[in-house]
Structure 1
Amino acid sequence: TNQIGNRGTVTEASGFNPEQDVQKLREAMKGTGTNESAIIEVLAHRTIAQRQRIKEAYKQSVGKELADDLSSELSGNFRSVVLGLLMLAPVYDAYELKHAMKGAGTEEACLIDILASRSNEEIRTINAFYKKEYGKTLEDDVCGDTSGMFQRVLVSLLTAGRDEGDNVDEALAVQDAKEIFEAGEARWGTDEVKFLTVLCVRNRKHLLRVFDEYKKISGREIEESIKREMSGCLEEVFLAIVKCMRSKPAFFAERLYKSMKGLGTTDSVLIRIMVARAEIDMLDIKAEFQKMYSKTLYSFIKGDTSGDYRKILLELCGGE
């Protein structure tokens, strides 16, 4: 019953029995110490839909929330992964966005990763969950936490109004490319609104045409121009939109690579992508990763993480 086009590493467990899984999880948390391997064995090998049924069965037979019990038993990055796996996709996205804006400082990477890559329907659902869960609109929180042109791009993405059709208007594509060129490379200072209007509104096929035209006019890839013309979060969000239009798996592969290369690991990014894409396009992300960096995603995760955190991520990665 996998939906057509499912390119995830996590697929439906056959012979699924939620009551049995609840039993395993209860055993794993009994007494002193926790059997993390048993938790990984169950949760990393069930789909989000199956995990919802496990949560219901757990609540029924224990009278407590599974997430609460796991939360008190586990800690650190491993716990973050496990709790993420228990959430429906838009709930997880809303949760990540909320936490990216909590307290001092904002994790802009989170706002960019999610809002540049989700479909209109996904964004509408995230907006609804966010409001229900946190009592404020996502737009209000984003506006309270960001500013300037970066804020305007995020607000535009939050309207979930991008054209999602397949129609390419040739004349408009040429005009869009010309206007972006004239708003950037061709003048002193950059008119960022022009970039926003094209990059946040047009459909994917149309934009790919615009990017081709842009290269003809300017002699450069649009990514190069964005890097030359802009900086900071604004540069990051426009680059993310362009890259997601070209290939979401390649976008996520690059994000994963950058989260692990060099010293230290940006665990928030690593966790978010591994959890959010496991059931969607992890197979494609792995293929892109290998193509782009001549190493496997598996080997990168293995070399950069440790303990149960490493174990569960490698399960989500689905082998070499």
Structure 2
Amino acid sequence: MAAVWVGVKGTVKDSPGFSAGRDADGIRKAISGLGTDEASLISILTQRSNAQRQLIVKEYQAACGKELKDDLKGDLSGNFEHLLVSMTLPPAVFDAKQLKKAMKGSGTTESLLTEILASRTSKQMKDVGDAYYTVYGKSLGDEISSETSGDFRKALLFLANARRDESSKVDEPLAKKDAEMLYNAGEKKWGTDEDKFIEVLSLRSLPQLRLTFDAYQNICKKSIEDSIAGEISGHLEDLLLAIVKCARNTAAYFAERLYKSMKGAGTDEYTLTRIMVSRSEIDLLEIRTEFKKLAGYSLYSAIKSDTSGDYGNALLKLCGGDD
């Protein structure tokens, strides 16, 4: 399962000379002493891969008879607690919990559903679906069905059901055919056939989509983004544009999300935490590069000026360096 969640452009890697027993003991001491030793918690949890953290969680449970996440919750608070607890969860469980949170209570957080479902691979979504069922005893698809509606629901279900082609082979004639179909479904007709956009954008592989976007530009003389923005509205528009961004450059999509989470008055710590935790072993190095391009300053400096205390220190460790 781990390989699906680990990329070559992460800032967090397996720690050499790792001992789960030693780390579990270090964490126990950091929590159980008089006052909490936050620095030790940060240096252990942010400098171990998620696979290693899962072993620490097991060791801690065996040694202390309690769940590490419960002890962290009992000892810490606020954003720092949320960050460290998030890091003790397997990635698929973390995503499942985010999706549950997006659909809980009155109203749905569509932007959160969009971010996760637009950016995860089919293999990752299979894991998330399994984790969702294990944790909540309900099917992710059923929950999405009851919490969303219309074409937005239809597109989310395509993505949740992990139906995107993952092969790296591309098919030129298919790209032309899809581009023609999208042109005929949108710009060329009165009214828009959203189904065609949903199917192509949810089912084709990312390299195939990039080819289709080029073909589309040739036929239509405008970008697929411009057409979607002009033809489609609301949550479906946001979702389809997110898929296009991720197909073109996933790291740039997340860089923009991070930039928006810290721009202006107030920081959206929830988004900041989620992206830093979920991308730290996949492509955070690439996201840092894209962030610098977009903002003109480094992700490290943005986090440093926008967060503080133990929460800020832990995020800076995950960030892994300045650019």
Matches of residues 1-320 of structure 1 in structure 2 within 5 Å? Answer: 6-320=8-322
Q: Offset of 1:169 from its aligned partner?
A: 2.5
Instruction: Find the residue that maps to 2:203 and give its secondary structure.
Output: coil
Matching residue's letter, 1:187: K
**Distance across 2 between alignment mates of 1:182 and 1:266:** 40
Amino acid at match of 2:165: D
Offset at residue 248 of structure 1 (A): 1.0
CA apart distance, 1:154: 0.3
> How many Å apart are 1:82 and its aligned residue?
0.5
Q: What whole-Å deviation, never above 9, does each CA across 1:45-102 have from its counterpart, x for those lacking one?
A: 0011111111111111111111110011111111111111101111111111111111
Query: 2 CA distance for matches of 1:192 and 1:267?
Result: 34
User: C-alpha separation between the residues in 2 aligned to 1:44 and 1:303?
Assistant: 20
Displaced runs of 4 or more, over 6 A: none
Give me the identity figure in percent.
Answer: 48
CA–CA separation in structure 2 for the residues paired with 1:256 and 1:30: 34
Q: Which moved more, 1:167-176 or 1:92-101?
A: 167-176
- Deviation, 1:33, is 2.6
Counterpart code for 2:40: A
Look up the SS of the partner of 1:200 in the other structure.
helix
Secondary structure in structure 1 of the residue aligned to 2:30: helix
Q: TM-score if structure 1 supplies the norm length?
A: 0.96
Give the drift of 1:32.
4.2
Count of matched residue pairs: 319
Deviation at 1:31?
Answer: 4.2
How far apart, in 1, do the equivalents of 2:99 and 2:45 lie? 23
Contact 2:201–2:240, Cα closer than 8 Å, also in 1: yes
Question: What letter corresponds to residue 111 of structure 1 in structure 2?
Answer: L
Amino acid paired to 1:303: S
Provide the C-alpha distance between the structure 2 equivalents of 1:85 and 1:262, rounded to a whole number of angstroms: 27
Cα drift, residue 26 of structure 1: 1.6
Pairwise CA RMSD: 1.6
Question: Mind listing any 5+ residue stretches in structure 2 that lack a counterpart?
Answer: none
Query: 2:7 touches 2:281 (CA, 8 Å); kept in 1?
Result: no
Q: Aligned-pair distance for 1:314?
A: 0.8
Q: How many angstroms apart in 2 are the aligned matches of 1:143 and 1:303?
A: 40
SS in 2 for 1:11: coil
Stretch moving more, 177-186 or 283-292 = 177-186
TM-score (norm 2): 0.95
Task: Find the residue that maps to 1:247 and give its secondary structure.
Answer: helix
Structure 1 regions of 5+ residues with no counterpart? none
Give the deviation of 1:225 after TM superposition: 1.5
